[in-house]
Amino acid sequence: MPLPSPGPDAHVLVTGASSGIGAAIARTLAARGYPTLLVARREEALAELAAELRGLSGLTSEVHAADLGTDEGLDTVRDLVLHDERVIGLVNGAGFGVTGRVAELADDDGRAALDGLVRLNVLALHDLTVAAVGAFVHRARSSRRTGAILNVSSITAFQPLPGVASYAASKAFVQSFSEAVHAELSGTGVTLTTLSPGLTRTGFADAAGTDAFDAAPGLAVGDAEDVAEAGVAAMVAGHRSVVPGLVNQLSAAGGRLAPRTLLLPALNAAMDWFT
Ligand SMILES: NC(=O)c1ccc[n+]([C@@H]2O[C@H](COP(=O)([O-])OP(=O)(O)OC[C@H]3O[C@@H](n4cnc5c(N)ncnc54)[C@H](OP(=O)(O)O)[C@@H]3O)[C@@H](O)[C@H]2O)c1
């Protein structure tokens, strides 16, 4: 099993743990007996979750407030991944979306928002994944202790998406990079799993500035707890990737297979209600 059995020295570091899918993943890991290191900017929300997890499971949860969009924040968290010997798992959950067509986002504020998106969704995830792969593979060779990584992607990874072009491209990066590294890690004792949720009720819609989740049919919007359960189960088993829910699996398959010449104009028109 790539994620070592739970125990006091088998910690999982979870980024984006202050709300939504990251917080649900931390709860799911705690329910399975894993102590956690919780990372996000909002220290108070992390402290509340840490207290909740201690109450539920009796396990320690450490709070590490950090802005992964800054060099300082990223350095702090990378140091934990590289040097804290208790860390045997990493969940890259932190991420956000920006809605709007690129021409509308070309002013200073819009460009700053898109730059922040790429820094967090792509650069920080890539940096922490590379650090974890290096540390976990080294440890697996020297002490035969396995390790596991879970990267949170999205079903937007499976096709270009007008209206959220930069966000979808950031998740296409996450999906492609993570699946390739999963293959590279074969036989090392370390695994990398990609979790690709569809619309999920979290703080995401507010952060992305859209109320489209309220307008979407109920069946199309999932719960963070179900997404977390699917992601953690796949991580524990060392699977390559998981798309939770039938509607999302159909959407992912459609995105991969549909001809771009037909798909993109249709999505461009459909995304009017999303942005
Ligand atoms: N909800 C969806 O429909 C959906 C669908 C597919 C994929 N996803 C992906 O799921 C992941 C989690 O999103 P969510 O839906 O759970 O949204 P969320 O509730 O808004 O959670 C986002 C998390 O990222 C953290 N974060 C944001 N900026 C950060 C920064 N600069 N440094 C450190 N942490 C930062 C936030 O914490 P702070 O604000 O405290 O920093 C929060 O914990 C994201 O990668 C998202 O792209 C979401």
Q: What percent of the chain has pLDDT over 90?
A: 86
User: Domain residue spans in the chain?
Assistant: 11-270
Average pLDDT over all residues of the chain: 95
Q: What is the pLDDT of residues 214-261, one digit of tens each?
A: 777 777 888 999 999 999 999 999 999 999 999 999 999 999 999 999
Ligand 1 atom closest to Cα of residue 15 = 34
Q: What is the pLDDT of residues 74-92, one digit of tens each?
A: 999 999 999 999 999 999 9
Q: How far is 225 from 27, CA to CA, in rounded Å?
A: 9
Please report the pLDDT score of residue 216 as a whole number.
Answer: 77
Q: How far is 200 from 180, CA to CA, in rounded Å?
A: 26
Spacing, Cα 269 to ligand 1 middle (Å): 27
Please report the pLDDT score of residue 2 as a whole number.
Answer: 82
Q: How far is 4 from 189, CA to CA, in rounded Å?
A: 10
Name which of 240, 145, 127, 230 is nearest 192 in CA terms: 240
Could you tell which of 41, 126, 174 is best to mutate to test the pocket of ligand 1, judged by most ligand atoms within 8 Å of the CB? Answer: 41
Average pLDDT over residues 156-166: 97
Which protein residues touch ligand 1 with a CB less than 6 Å away? 15-22, 40-42, 45, 67-69, 93-96, 120, 152, 154, 197, 199-200, 202-204, 207
Q: Is 34 a catalytic residue?
A: no
Ligand 1 atom closest to Cα of residue 68 = 32
Task: Supply the CATH classification number for the domain 11-270.
Answer: 3.40.50.720
Q: How far is 71 from 252, CA to CA, in rounded Å?
A: 34
Q: How far is 131 from 134, CA to CA, in rounded Å?
A: 5
